[in-house]
Structure 1
Amino acid sequence: MAEISPDTAAGLALLGQFSDPSFSSLLKWTFRNACGEDAKGKPQAMTALSDVKDLEGEDEIMIKSAHMALLTFIYEAAKTDMHPVQITSLLEDAKLPEGHIKAISGLFERCKPILRNVLSRNRISFPKLIDIEWRLDHQMRSRTLDQVREAVYLVRLKLKEPTGHEKLIEMTCNHSELADLHARLKNATLKVEKLIRGAKGK
């Protein structure tokens, strides 16, 4: 079952304190700024709080708190492709009126394709390492009259881009450079494992 943070839940609960016209304006303003584009993918300029006339006279701190909570909620719901039943359940837990819940759920379903498109374009993605090959070669190096055979390693990395395309990265290195690369990768792996263990322990 999806969950939201206590801060987000508290901010969502504030939505129940607005009048119907103020809530409607806040809802549309938040979704407009969250999408950043219309249904055809055309960019939309973000609007400032001062431009939302129906919110005049409302407590500015309460507006911003509710706005940020709603923004966080709809981005998380879009990112996880949250089911309407889950959305309704979470909003009910935040003690929102039934009319507010229906309005948020309905607008979210209409805007979800745009929101997911915005998130897919703005997220930071890195290539995934899917294969590694290496082979030992030798290189002749001349030292005046003598020739020295030096071990050279050819390393080939196969990566998969977020788009699905694959690419190869090839490099050559000597024994000490390969040992240094191995040590750095091992150290990075240990740090990631430590972070994961720390996150699970919280």
Structure 2
Amino acid sequence: MELLSQPTLTALQVCGTVGLPEKCFRVIVKNALDCIFSQHEDEILIDKDTVEIDAAILKQTYLAIMTLFVEASKTDTSSEQFSMVLDDCKLLPKQKEILQESYKLNKQKVRSHLARINKGLPHVVDIDWRLDYNMKNSQLNKVMDLKYTLSFKTEQQLCGEINSNQEDNVQFSCTREQLQDFVGKLKEAVKSVERASQS
């Protein structure tokens, strides 16, 4: 399972290799989670438990643990899959246990936090269409032109607000051929999504 990038895996492997003390590792995990929840404003805290650790290793460890929790929560990784990822990191047994325990306790909180800060894409909630038939142009010449006018009503969740949506209308006109091309591309997109969800 490819949940983490190679630099993140390497940074977590360093944790096991260096053999950070349990108390120190717990402090790093707690501070990393606090940083995810924006309680530390992305600063890496150095306290009496982490002061003796090389600054580069400390920074890599914080970022790797934050990435681990965010990516695992974002993809709704199960505890078993999370454990398999940790096996790839070659962590010490106690470090693995601390991360599993913290993930289990904070997974839903991280997911909720990500949902609040994610702006996301607008969703189409309604569509209206109209067919215009132009018989003559402004010079009174015969045109006999068909134009479709489509109006999509979209809804987008506002950043950071749970039950607040912004509505918008997207409107455009097209010929019959352009509309057929558009519908064909939508059908291709639906098939691609179906294939991806079956994989």
Per the normalisation by structure 2, the TM-score is: 0.68
> Does the 8 Å contact 1:129/1:158 carry over to 2?
yes
- Does 1:24 pair with 2:26? yes
Residues 112-151 of structure 1: pairs in structure 2 closer than 5 A: 112-129=107-124, 132-137=127-132
Counterpart-to-counterpart distance in 2, 1:133 and 1:47: 46
Q: 2:65 aligns with which of 53, 70, 85?
A: 70
Instruction: Report deviation, 1:3.
Output: 3.4
- Does 1:5 pair with 2:5? yes
Q: Deviations over 1:116-148 (max 9, x none)?
A: 1111112231113466443223689997xx899
Residue identity matched to 1:12: L
Report the 3-state secondary structure (helix = DSSP H, G, I; strand = E; otherwise coil) of the residue aligned with 1:159.
Answer: strand
- Point out where structure 2 has 5 or more consecutive residues left out of the alignment: 158-162, 193-199
Instruction: Report deviation, 1:10.
Output: 0.6
Counterpart-to-counterpart distance in 2, 1:50 and 1:127: 37
Residue identity matched to 1:72: T
Question: How many residue pairs were aligned?
Answer: 177
> Does the 8 Å contact 1:2/1:86 carry over to 2?
no
> Does the 8 Å contact 1:158/1:169 carry over to 2?
yes
Counterpart-to-counterpart distance in 2, 1:169 and 1:9: 44
Counterpart-to-counterpart distance in 2, 1:74 and 1:13: 16
- Does 1:88 pair with 2:83? yes
Relative to structure 1, the CA distance from residue 135 to residue 167 in structure 2 (aligned partners, 3 Å threshold; closer, same or farther) is: same
- Point out where structure 1 has 5 or more consecutive residues left out of the alignment: 37-43, 197-202
Residues 101-180 of structure 1: pairs in structure 2 closer than 5 A: 101-129=96-124, 132-137=127-132, 153-159=148-154, 161=156, 169=169, 171=171, 178=174
Report the 3-state secondary structure (helix = DSSP H, G, I; strand = E; otherwise coil) of the residue aligned with 1:53.
Answer: coil
Q: More displaced, 100-109 or 118-127? A: 118-127
Q: 2:48 is matched with which residue?
A: 53
Instruction: Report deviation, 1:13.
Output: 1.0
Residue identity matched to 2:107: K
> Does the 8 Å contact 1:3/1:90 carry over to 2?
yes
* RMSD between superposed Cα atoms in Å: 3.9
Counterpart-to-counterpart distance in 1, 2:108 and 2:57: 29
Instruction: Report deviation, 1:166.
Output: 10
Report the 3-state secondary structure (helix = DSSP H, G, I; strand = E; otherwise coil) of the residue aligned with 1:137.
Answer: strand
Instruction: Report deviation, 1:165.
Output: 7.3
Q: More displaced, 84-93 or 133-142? A: 133-142
Instruction: Report deviation, 1:98.
Output: 1.1
Instruction: Report deviation, 1:115.
Output: 0.6
> Does the 8 Å contact 2:44/2:62 carry over to 1?
no
Counterpart-to-counterpart distance in 2, 1:109 and 1:9: 20
> Does the 8 Å contact 1:129/1:157 carry over to 2?
yes
Counterpart-to-counterpart distance in 2, 1:28 and 1:112: 13
Instruction: Report deviation, 1:158.
Output: 3.8
Counterpart-to-counterpart distance in 2, 1:15 and 1:172: 55
